[in-house]
Amino acid sequence: MMKMPPSQSRLHLGAALFGLAAAGCAVGPDYRRPDVAAPAAFKEAASWQLATPRDETVRGAWWEIYRDPVLNSLEQRATKGNQSILAADAAYRAAAAIARQAEASLWPTLGASAGITRSQQAVGTARANSIQSAPTSGLNNLRTAELTASWEVDLWGGLRRSAESSRASAAATLGDYEAAKLSLAAELAVDYFDLRVADATQGFLNETVAGYERSLKISQNQYAAGIVGRVDVAEAETQLASTRAQAIDVGIQRAQLEHAIAVLIGVPPAEFSVAVDPAWTAPSPDVPLGVAGDLLERRPDIAAAERRVVAANAQVGVASAAWFPTLTLNATGGYQSVAASQWFSLPNRFWSVGPELAETLFDAGRRRAVSAQARAAYDQAVANYRQTTLQAFQDVEDSLVSLRVLKDEIATQDMAVKSAREAARLTLNQYKAGTVSYLSVVTVQETALQNERAAISLIGRQLAGSVGLVRGLGGGWRAEDLNAAK
């Protein structure tokens, strides 16, 4: 039989070990998505109107369904300027770097070094060595240049499990980033609609103040003609002043909403304003529901929670691999010489290569405790994942019931507004005819005012409910987006 040269033998040995490491099965459980209770349909969706044309889900910039150019511009600015989003993006980039670091541990580590060491020997020793080395003064310069290689062979898959855990953690952080963007967009939309509702309330109150000024003029004329007493004028003045105060108070709410929007888009409140839009009308967007079970793939917070289950499952494998010995291959080679001219000559070459097998014989239960901790962390991640999915279904159901009830409430409130307006008109005519006191006018006008404000408030709640529904459905996001690198 032909005997292989030592260098070729080492090459075959390394290739065999590499193949063993690559093909070896990783210890620990392989991941399976935990079972969750996903209903076939949403409970509150029985009377939900499907979008036309029908679509399974909102896509991309979901706020565009409201067809408001100002809102679209604000949402784009927020995505680029919000500091919380920038922080979430940095957290993802850090997690992705950790994942790359973990994957790098699967490969050999190579190093190089070069140096000169100056040493002194006894004179007698130096003379004895003078035949082989030039220096005779007892001082030697030892020049060394070497290459080193070290590789921990992943026989049991512990390193692969660690890399798997890091990748899943990075994906979870990306899910957190997407959830933060969705939350930001929803909060901004709600604040914007509340600001527009404040504008509508302000406009209505201004019109009401103008109407009350005319009523005050009527009561003053009636008093001057001796038809009514001074009390009617006082009541009209009180009513007018109270409504003016309400109009002023709305300005506080609007200013605070404007400040909140400024912070959300990442600018100081002093440098931001939203112009009043007298022509603004409340939109009525179509929000498609899709299939209830698809919610597991449409919420970034669910995807993040599920990726954390993957990471925890892989950590169980890392803990299991700690029970087995580790195999490390080390190699060193280079040149060393005391004479610079002979530094890289063949006789001054040196090398060493060899495996190192290490096993922990006694650790006082440390590995057992680490394994128990890993399994408990996995159980915790599973429970958090299931709780997140339950909360997601609740969010959608809450938004659906809110929109369903608000639709009926708005229709009923509109009837109340019409009746209140008619009562105020008739009572004012009666007052002009002298058949009722101004107290009756104040009473019906106050009722009309409260019903008008309630109707405007319901519109704001309906818009907030539609935003909540879009957010609950995931805003058009899909779980496969985690696989797309940013």
Cα torsion for 95, 98, 103, 104, to the nearest 10°? 150
E-strand stretches of 90-209: 109-120, 139-153
The class of domain 109-153+325-358 in CATH terms is mainly beta
The Cα 438–Cα 220 span in angstroms is 11
DSSP run (H or E) holding 222: helix 158-224
**Which pLDDT score, from 0 to 100, does residue 37 have?**
82
**Which pLDDT score, from 0 to 100, does residue 41 have?**
80
Q: Could you identify the residue written with the tokens 């019931």?
A: 401
How many helices, marked H, and strands, marked E, lie in the chain?
10, 4
Pick from 104, 110, 101, 112: nearest CA to 154: 104
The Cα 185–Cα 222 span in angstroms is 55
Question: Which pLDDT band, with edges at 50, 70 and 90, does 154 fall under?
Answer: confident
**Which pLDDT score, from 0 to 100, does residue 296 have?**
84
- Residue range(s) in the chain whose domain bears CATH number 1.20.1600.10: 21-106+154-324+364-483
Q: How far is CA 105 from the centre of its chain?
A: 29
Pick from 74, 33, 1: nearest CA to 306: 33
Count of beta carbons in the 10 Å neighbourhood of residue 189: 25
Would the pTM of this model clear 0.75, i.e. be above it?
yes
**Across residues 426-434, what is the average pLDDT?**
91
Percent residues over pLDDT 70 in the chain: 86
Q: CA quadruple 120, 123, 126, 131: dihedral positive or negative?
A: positive
CATH topology for 21-106+154-324+364-483?
Outer membrane efflux proteins (OEP) (1.20.1600)
- Residue range(s) in the chain whose domain bears CATH number 2.20.200.10: 109-153+325-358
Pick from 177, 21, 19: nearest CA to 87: 177
**Which pLDDT score, from 0 to 100, does residue 482 have?**
66
The Cα 287–Cα 219 span in angstroms is 51
Q: CA quadruple 461, 258, 178, 169: dihedral positive or negative?
A: negative
pLDDT in tens, 335-348: 888 887 788 888 88
Which residues are CB-neighbours of 318 under 8 A, at least 6 positions away? Answer: 28, 158, 161, 162, 165, 374
The Cα 15–Cα 11 span in angstroms is 6
Q: Does residue 124 carry a pLDDT above 80?
A: no
pLDDT in tens, 179-221: 999 999 999 999 999 999 999 999 999 999 999 999 999 999 9
The Cα 4–Cα 135 span in angstroms is 42
Which whole-number Å values give the CA distances from 237 to 83, 209, 423, in the listed order? 49, 11, 21
pLDDT in tens, 11-65: 444 444 444 444 457 888 999 999 888 887 888 776 655 444 334 445 568 999 8
pLDDT in tens, 240-259: 999 999 999 999 999 999 99
